[in-house]
A = this chain, B = another copy of it.
Amino acid sequence: MAVFPAFNRSDILADLKAATPHAEVHIDDAVALKFSANGRAQDAIQGRILAYVAVGDVADIQGVLRVARQYHIPVIPQSADTSTVIGADGIDGSIILSTIRMNKIQEISKGDFLAVVQPGVINGDLDKAAREQGMFYAPDPGSKPISSIGGNVATNAGGMSSVKYGVTKDSILGLKVVLADGREIKVGGRTLKQAFGYDLTQLFVGSEGTLGIVTEITVKLYPIPVGNAVTGVAFFPDMAALASTVQDLRLSGIYPVMLEALDGKTVQALDEYEGTHYAKSATASMLIFKLDAGGEASLAIAEQILKDHQAENVSVTADPTEAAQLMKLRQDMLPAVFAHGNHIMEDMAVPLSKLPEMMNYVQEVAQKLDVDVYTAGHAGDGNVHPSLLWPKDQAEPPAKIIEATRLMFHKALALGGTISGEHAVGMSKNQWTNVELGFDVDSIQHQIKNLFDPLGILNPKRKIN
């Protein structure tokens, strides 16, 4: 039996180059390998890409899609390539369409409280530019210094300040998107209220490049709040005590901008890394919090709540230098943990009241399956990030890590949660669509995918199954 291809590689590549006059087109093996496997062993994808195309403009994007439609080639949208869910790695025979060179901040408007950016702009760069005008860009994923706004939109990225300012979708006012058929459409706009059409903007946000290629993003900017920022850390005997404190801090009406939790093992790893002695017990849990408004009055309320909950080793400061020292504990968390082995960092979100139960279950599974698990979380919005570790001399995670993750996912769902709080689905979790969403919603998702991308060329097998 034989398979008869209709086209040969060199014809396709000649067409691709002709169709993308302002792009950098790479077809050499080194680039192909780099972007096929993304340098991450556990994410390695079989096969190799056809080409890596760093587009220069919208016309290039339309050119890539024209060629992709003609030859039925998968197109993988990518910009800063920081996906943690195999969302933007190359697949065999695909074109990686990178928007990383489309990185202009086109406008910062003090008049309209918004910015207009291209997808390749780095989150931290946008925020910096906004702050120079007395405003800021709220969504702050851990990848803020390295991830792009295009990627943040694709994954509906969250962050630490989501507890106060919401996730990426809450900051997106409008988009321009090139559809699979090549048309560029504009959805949403520059107004703060909008009740006209169906909300296609939010349909594209979080769609992981499966419905279209985002070419321009209009984001809401917030004014920098008045009142000194206050940063603090506090310790609790266990996660339940910490969670109950978080509950009261939220309910008090002081609107913290950060409520981060680190479990006992993470605190122990930090002690080891920093030479500190915070971990009085194996379950000692650490809270890092920040208020970006409200000044003295809000601080007094926070301190009283911490006292009522018998928090230990409380440090609170409005001094920027001291605050930076406390924040260093949060920043050092990942290196402190990852010093212990190779890792997968997971991302589940549960209803806020279920946080202690989820945290406890993670530790139960770790013990039962003998897996090294360190858990941190955006406690203020029920977002849990367990890091599962294994020895550095093994490239691939052992089976028990995969099994532990599977159990945790089922638990998050049983608690009314989601198996993706802020990292999206990619290829890592798309086998779970039917489990999390059920058959009916899963089917509707496929109908929507088919509506926008009938040939199935846009980031196939990501997001949906």
Contact = CB atoms under 8 A, between A and B. Distances in A.
A421 B111 contact: no
B197 A436 contact: yes
Interface in A443-458: 444-445, 447-448, 451-452
A48 interface: no
A418 B195 CA distance: 8
A203 B194 contact: no
Contacts of A156: 194-195, 199
Interface string A332-364: 000000000000000101111100000000000
Given A294-B226, A301-B226, A448-B451, A194 B112 contact: no
Interface string A88-132: 000000000000000000000111111000000000000000000
A113 to B, nearest CB: 6
Given A113-B250, A192-B352, A198 B445 contact: yes
A227 B294 contact: yes
B352 A112 contact: yes
Interface string A253-291: 111000000000000000000000000000000000000
**Which of A170, A200, A447 has the most chain B CB atoms inside 10 A of its CB?**
A200
B190 A351 contact: yes
A255 B247 CA distance: 24
Contact of A191 (B134, B193, B295, B416): B416
Interface in A155-199: 155-158, 162-163, 166-167, 169-170, 183, 185-187, 189-199
Tell me the dominant secondary structure on chain A's binding face: loop
A67 to B, nearest CB: 22
A438 to B, nearest CB: 7
A142 to B, nearest CB: 13
A182 to B, nearest CB: 11
Given A191-B418, A294-B227, A352-B112, A196 B436 contact: yes
State the copy count for this chain: 2
A225 interface: yes
A423 B194 CA distance: 9
Given A191-B418, A195-B156, A183 B353 contact: no
8 contacts: A109-B351, A189-B416, A192-B382, A196-B418, A198-B207, A198-B211, A202-B203, A447-B451
Interface in A17-61: none
Q: Which 7 A-B pairs have the closest CB atoms?
A: A111-B353, A202-B202, A192-B381, A193-B421, A190-B351, A191-B349, A223-B253
Interface residues of A, number: 93
A402 interface: no
A82 to B, nearest CB: 15
A155 B195 CA distance: 7
Given A195-B421, A198-B206, A382-B192, A440 B185 contact: yes
Given A225-B253, A352-B112, A191 B451 contact: no
A251 B110 contact: yes
A166 B251 CA distance: 20
Interface in A423-465: 423-425, 429, 432-433, 436-438, 440-441, 444-445, 447-448, 451-452, 463
A247 B111 CA distance: 7
A63 to B, nearest CB: 19
Contact of A353 (B109, B211, B224, B436): B109
Nearest to A243: B111
B420 A196 contact: yes
A419 interface: yes
Contacts of A433: 196-197
A205 interface: yes
B224 A193 contact: no
Given A191-B350, A191-B351, A194-B418, 8 more contacts: A112-B352, A155-B195, A190-B417, A194-B420, A195-B206, A198-B203, A227-B297, A448-B448
